[in-house]
Amino acid sequence: MESKTQIYPVAIVGGGLAGLCAAIHLQKEGKQVILFEKKQYPFHRVCGEYVSNETRKYLKKIGLNLDELGVQEIQKFQFTSPSGGSLTSPLDLGGFGISRYTLDNELYKLALASGVDCRVNTEVEQITFEKNLFKIQTSHSNDPIQAQYVIGSYGKRSKIDVTLNRNHLTRRSPYIGIKYHINYDYPKDLISLHNFENGYCGISAIEDNKYCLCYLTTRENLRKYKNVSEMERNILWKNPHLKKIFLEAEFLYQKPEVINEISFSPKTQVENHILMIGDTAGLITPLCGNGMAMAIHGAKILSELLLKNFDNRTFVERQYQKAWKNNFGFRVWAGRQIQSLFGHPILTEFVLHFFKLFRPALSIFIKATHGKEFS
């Protein structure tokens, strides 16, 4: 049992990319961290599983050896319209493909080796802040755990959002996300974005000669048909590229990973003094670069702010919100604007033909939705 009198400098709620990177960073710099994850590693997440190379130096700095994980180098981008039109372009910075199943688990092991107190299979039920101290109630203990700072890294949706009465919960989202891992004969250096009515589907290589196939669509698309398979046949398969993949690929799950109510509404980065990172700070549309890189970068920004200004909570909160907006605000905005053009057959065809005629505009689009290297 944990000591009732122990006060952790930092508690992190949620063990995704952002939470694990922040835990490792802070622990290695001398701040004892306790991390709560409601599941047991390793496990799958609905995610595109492409990471921009902007993260490489930082991941190496905190101790992750990507070369040992068999990541796939990705250097080209393909965009297709619902009718099958196609456009391919180089990715200036490029990226790599790796499953969250593998990446999160490796970061978890690194966190343990660094000394992080990791509590898996433990759900945080309530967080209260009083007299400059947090009390965290979990599913495994009647006694609250105390911490000076709490970082929220629990993902897209959580009961904590409900207890905090966060604004984005007041607006229902029409989006659902669905992910598979597949075996398929496909270029390993290519990430493709295949559009269909009211959605788009990404495919890219990950470790062990597998591919991630992940798509975003609407509840309305699913409601029209009996199940996911029927929806895929009647909607996704209208794009000939997707039809070929679904007919020829070997699907490695008995059923897909599914997540409902994906909200891209703006979120605040601080709620009741809880510092939010990753999807908890603001969900990234799949068309504004990649949320995995932003989650990792956000963890770095917050960790460095805490280490330099630990005794000044007000300054940390103010500067973190400012830094988050400066680093990610435009990318998030750009992603929302771009997303509004996708999923509409006529608009998507127009965008494809526009980029074919004005190739420099495509390069500008790609650069606008990716960040710069950080370490």
Q: Which two tokens stand for residue 327?
A: 């680093």
Query: Helix, strand or coil for residue 104?
Result: helix
pLDDT in tens, 262-313: 666 667 899 999 999 988 887 666 554 578 998 999 999 999 999 999 999 9
Residue 101 pLDDT class (50, 70, 90 cuts): very high
Distance of CA 217 to the CA centre of its chain: 17
Q: Which pLDDT score is estimated for 202?
A: 93
- What does the pLDDT read at residue 3? 45
pLDDT tens digits for range 335-346: 666 666 666 777
CB 80 within 8 A of CB 243: no
Task: Supply φ then ψ for residue 199, to 5 degrees.
Answer: 175, 180
In Å, the largest CA–CA distance within the chain is: 66
Report whether 52 contacts 18 (CB < 8 A). no
Are 37 and 138 spatial neighbours (Cβ–Cβ below 8 Å)? no
Rounded (to 5) percent helix, strand, coil in the chain: 40, 25, 35
Report pLDDT for 47: 87
Model confidence over 126-152: pLDDT tens digits? 999 999 999 999 987 788 999 999 999
Q: Quick one: pLDDT at residue 155?
A: 74
Q: What's the rounded Cα separation, in Å, for the pair 118 and 111?
A: 8
Residue in the structure block whose two tokens are 């990507």: 66
pLDDT tens, position by position, 7-46: 999 999 999 999 999 999 999 999 999 999 999 999 999 8
d(CA 267, CA 166): 8
Residue 157 has pLDDT above 70, yes or no: no
Express each pLDDT in 66-77 by its tens digit.
Answer: 999 999 999 999
Report the distance separating Cα 197 and Cα 242, nearest Å.
12
Stated as kind and residue range, the H or E segment containing 361 is helix 359-368
CA 79 to chain centre: 21
Residue type, 354: F
CATH of 66-96+172-261+341-368, picked from 3.30.9.100, 3.30.930.10, 3.40.50.970, 3.40.50.300, is: 3.30.9.100
pLDDT recorded at residue 1: 41
What's the pLDDT score for residue 75?
Answer: 94
The pLDDT, as a whole number, for residue 169 is: 58
The answer to whether residue 2 scores a pLDDT higher than 60 is no
Q: 7-47+100-171+263-339: what fold?
A: FAD/NAD(P)-binding domain (3.50.50)
Q: Does 118 have pLDDT greater than 70?
A: yes
Structural domain spans, the chain: 7-47+100-171+263-339, 66-96+172-261+341-368
